[in-house]
Amino acid sequence: MQITMYRASVPVFVRNLRNLSVILGKAEAHAAERRFEPSVLLNYRLAPDMFPLTRQVQIATDMAKGCVSRLAGVEIPVYEDKEATFGELIARLEKCIAYLEGFKPGQIDGTEEKTIVLKRPSGDVSLQGLRYLLEYVQPNVYFHCTTAYAILRHCGVEVGKKDFIGPI
Instruction: Give the tens place of pLDDT for each residue, 56-78.
Output: 999 999 999 999 999 999 999 99
Name the band, by pLDDT with cuts 50, 70 and 90, for residue 168.
confident
The CATH fold of domain 10-165: Four Helix Bundle (Hemerythrin (Met), subunit A) (1.20.120)
> Which residues, including other chains, have CB under 8 Å from residue 48's CB and lie 6 or more apart?
none
Instruction: Give the tens place of pLDDT for each residue, 111-162.
Output: 999 999 999 899 999 999 999 999 999 999 999 999 999 999 999 999 999 9
Please list the helix, strand and coil fractions of the chain in percent, rounded to the nearest 5, in that order.
60, 5, 35
Q: Where does residue 119 rank: exposed (0-12), middle (13-18), buried (19+ CB within 10 A)?
A: exposed
Which residue, among 70, 42, 66, 87, has the nearest Cα to 79 in the 3D structure?
66
For the chain, which residues make up each domain, given as ranges? Answer: 10-165
Instruction: Give the tens place of pLDDT for each residue, 10-48.
Output: 999 999 999 999 999 999 999 999 999 999 999 999 999
Q: How far is CA 53 from the centre of its chain?
A: 12
